[in-house]
Chain A
Amino acid sequence: MPNPFFLLCDSDVLIQLLSTKQILLLRDLTRLYGIQATIVPEVEVEVCWHRKFGDRFQQNLDKAIHANVIARYNEKLLAQLCGVGSQHIDASIQQLGAEYGKRVGRGEAYTFAAATILRQPAFSHDRDALDTLMASGLQVPTTVLRVFDLLALHYQTGLLTEAACDHVRQEILKVPTEFVPRAFRNSSFRDGLRNFVPRLQDCAFPPVEMPAPGTGPALYATPIVLAKV
């Protein structure tokens, strides 16, 4: 299966990456795998003025956009992927986003709508939004990645050391309301990996140690195996 083209990023993961100064991890996805981290306008609005953090992340988000670490979703970008017919696809995304937006926050709504229509992964910690959409019988992206999936990939491929990954884990844990998968809440990064099923792996490296599959992954947890481009 080819690598995804886009990774549709939600506000909460971007804020986690920006606050731990790890936003450049997204650049590796583009450089090595051809995956462009992308944000819908609604997410940019949310990150530029966050209800809790104010405009703390606006400047660094701008920098990431200008450095092409993150791309703004727009029709031009869509045309690069879809070519002719991108207008119709954009209209479908807007329509689905409006439908999702009745039930979940604006950023999640349009991020998940774009990921669903384009069949690309989303990058979000908002499980509550995903479960709300599923409870309403609405489709959700097949893969929704977490920041720790990105860390696990970097660890698997040797781009980040175990110590560096654990440092990020500790930085995130400093903010009590930030999402950290249960496996990593009271365990080091290395120990946590034993109880964590990463949704992103590089096919050229041995897989990271992971627990035996349980009752089967949630609908949005289909793993992606990447190949370098």
Chain B
Amino acid sequence: MLQKILELAGFDAAGCAGLLGISSRIFQEWTAGQRPIPPSFASELSAILGVEPSLLTNPSKQIKAYVAANMTPATWYKFRGEGLVDADREFVFLIRRLGNFIGTLEDVTQNRATGWEEHFKTIQANIDRQAPPRQQGREAARVFRASRGLNKGATGIGEVVRGNLRNMGILLVETPLPDSKLEGCSFYVGLRPTERPCLFANTHHLTWFRRNVVLMHELAHAIFDSPNAGASIDFQEAVSGPDLAEQRADAFAKEALIPKEVLRHVAQAHGIRWDNLSAGSLAAIVAETHVEQKKILEAAFEADLISHEQFESYQTVNVSSELPRLSEHALSTQEYLRKIGREASERIGIGKRSTTIPMRSIRLPIPYIDAVVNAFQNKQISRGKAAEMLMVDEDTFTNRFGGRLDTFADQ
């Protein structure tokens, strides 16, 4: 029964009902096999849980084999692991639900973002699998930068890389998970053949400069590891150890964001000398490269731009007072809102991104919200469907986004 599948994935019925925003009693009747699961819900649950829909609608024999073989989908197997809490699994549940909505939206709007698979294959084909992991990561990052047109200008890519990845069909989610130790993770969402990689960065206590590193690190995992492992999970405060996948992902992130030519170009453009870095000059490098101080120093050391002594010494330099003057990405949310003003904050959807229906709220990506609202405006989806896709109720949808521009006449 559904109950067994949920148990193997680390859920209980009440929690799942809360995440779907439906009656706990009805969901419990489904899990206990007392009431058939309607095909529409079976289809959604199968996409979220990663099991065949028939397993949910015609359980009997198949379920026995499933339970006996412990056929937990790889993603959920990973998310049952040590150090992970209910909040993490609930978050993944909602993201996989989001992935399913994206597939539907692309289907309705006939606007499918693709390309990630081809790019991943190109990258995989262009690295030497027998090379040391760090070299593999660097090679892969060079291919990635070149194939995505990110190597032009030798400057920071933090402000463009999100859109670039989304154009390939990759789902990027950055939302606070305060109860979690997760820093980032990657896994696949959606049903075959429209599955896609999802990269996640926890915004709780992570700066934008750090999140850029996290997202690139997770991209490397999505290219090399997640397809087979089900998911790749990285915790806060973790240090890259001898693990091949982690070393490769770490090298990929640094080379993708701050290859040697970018570090040199940024320093030259600002008249900065690597042998004499002050708080101001280091802050300028952070602001221009869009990468946190620690990774810049690691990359500079690996590129022979600074010595080991300088690396140690520069780590103690505090850029926190200089950085907000140089980059709005260093501002707190309140400071940022004050700077851009109310009109601009409404235009870019601040305060309109959080879900309200599931018991756990997540912050949805702005391009996804825009796509849903546009589909509603173009009469491709109804208000009810748009609200469902944004995981809010219809009144909230109307309050946040208004009605259609050409409102309907009376029924």
Q: Which A residues have a C-beta under 8 Å from some C-beta of B?
A: 40-42, 44-45, 48-49, 51-52, 55, 58, 94, 97-98, 101-110, 125-129, 131-132, 135-136, 146, 177, 179, 181-182, 218
Smallest CB gap from A133: residue in B: B382
Interface status of B108 (Cβ within 8 A of chain A): yes
Once A51-B357, A102-B107 are accepted as A-B contacts, the answer to whether A132 and B381 lie under 8 Å apart by CB is: yes
User: When the two chains form their complex, are residues B26 and A45 in contact, meaning their CB atoms are under 8 A apart?
Assistant: yes
How many whole Å from B199's CB to the nearest CB in chain A? 26
Q: Is the interface of A mostly helix, strand, loop or mixed?
A: helix
With beta carbons under 8 angstroms apart, the residue of A52, A108, A146 that contacts B393 is A52
User: When the two chains form their complex, are residues B393 and A51 in contact, meaning their CB atoms are under 8 A apart?
Assistant: yes
CA distance A181 to B409 in the complex (A): 10
User: When the two chains form their complex, are residues A109 and B107 in contact, meaning their CB atoms are under 8 A apart?
Assistant: no
User: When the two chains form their complex, are residues A49 and B411 in contact, meaning their CB atoms are under 8 A apart?
Assistant: no
Note all chain A residues with C-beta closer than 8 A to B38.
Answer: 40-42, 45, 110
Once A48-B23, A49-B23 are accepted as A-B contacts, the answer to whether A104 and B382 lie under 8 Å apart by CB is: yes
> Can you identify 9 A-B contacts, CB atoms within 8 angstroms?
A45-B23, A51-B21, A97-B40, A103-B380, A127-B408, A129-B384, A131-B379, A131-B382, A136-B379
Note all chain A residues with C-beta closer than 8 A to B125.
Answer: none
With beta carbons under 8 angstroms apart, the residue of B26, B39, B388, B411 that contacts A127 is B411
Q: Which B residues have a C-beta under 8 Å from some C-beta of A?
A: 17, 21-26, 36, 38-41, 43, 104, 107-108, 357, 379-385, 387-388, 393-395, 404, 408, 410-411
Note all chain B residues with C-beta closer than 8 A to A146.
Answer: 411
User: When the two chains form their complex, are residues B411 and A106 in contact, meaning their CB atoms are under 8 A apart?
Assistant: no
Once A42-B38, A177-B395 are accepted as A-B contacts, the answer to whether A128 and B382 lie under 8 Å apart by CB is: yes
With beta carbons under 8 angstroms apart, the residue of A58, A136, A177, A182 that contacts B380 is A136
User: When the two chains form their complex, are residues A58 and B25 in contact, meaning their CB atoms are under 8 A apart?
Assistant: yes
User: When the two chains form their complex, are residues B22 and A49 in contact, meaning their CB atoms are under 8 A apart?
Assistant: yes
How many whole Å from A40's CB to the nearest CB in chain B? 8
Note all chain B residues with C-beta closer than 8 A to A52.
Answer: 393, 395
User: When the two chains form their complex, are residues A51 and B411 in contact, meaning their CB atoms are under 8 A apart?
Assistant: no
Smallest CB gap from A179: residue in B: B411
Once A129-B382, A132-B379 are accepted as A-B contacts, the answer to whether A58 and B388 lie under 8 Å apart by CB is: no
Once A49-B26, A58-B23, A128-B384 are accepted as A-B contacts, the answer to whether A101 and B379 lie under 8 Å apart by CB is: no
Note all chain A residues with C-beta closer than 8 A to B384.
Answer: 104-105, 107-108, 126, 128-129
Most buried by A among B38, B40, B381: B40
Note all chain B residues with C-beta closer than 8 A to A106.
Answer: 40, 388
With beta carbons under 8 angstroms apart, the residue of B21, B24, B36, B43 that contacts A98 is B43
Once A49-B21, A146-B411 are accepted as A-B contacts, the answer to whether A98 and B39 lie under 8 Å apart by CB is: yes
How many whole Å from B64's CB to the nearest CB in chain A? 25
CA distance A177 to B104 in the complex (A): 28
Note all chain B residues with C-beta closer than 8 A to A41.
Answer: 36, 38
Note all chain B residues with C-beta closer than 8 A to A105.
Answer: 382, 384-385, 387-388
CA distance A129 to B376 in the complex (A): 11
User: When the two chains form their complex, are residues B411 and A181 in contact, meaning their CB atoms are under 8 A apart?
Assistant: yes
Note all chain B residues with C-beta closer than 8 A to A102.
Answer: 104, 107-108, 381, 385
CA distance A108 to B382 in the complex (A): 10
User: When the two chains form their complex, are residues B385 and A103 in contact, meaning their CB atoms are under 8 A apart?
Assistant: yes
User: When the two chains form their complex, are residues A132 and B395 in contact, meaning their CB atoms are under 8 A apart?
Assistant: no
How many whole Å from A52's CB to the nearest CB in chain B? 6
Known: A105-B387, A125-B411; 13 extra A-B contacts, CB below 8 A, are A41-B38, A44-B26, A45-B22, A49-B22, A98-B43, A101-B40, A102-B104, A102-B107, A103-B385, A105-B385, A109-B40, A179-B411, A181-B410
User: When the two chains form their complex, are residues B383 and A128 in contact, meaning their CB atoms are under 8 A apart?
Assistant: yes
How many whole Å from B21's CB to the nearest CB in chain A? 6
CA distance A146 to B185 in the complex (A): 49
How many whole Å from A150's CB to the nearest CB in chain B? 14
CA distance A136 to B379 in the complex (A): 8
Note all chain B residues with C-beta closer than 8 A to A179.
Answer: 411
CA distance A10 to B216 in the complex (A): 46
User: Which 9 pairs between the two chains have the least Cβ-Cβ distance?
Assistant: A105-B384, A49-B23, A51-B393, A48-B23, A135-B379, A182-B410, A41-B38, A127-B411, A132-B382
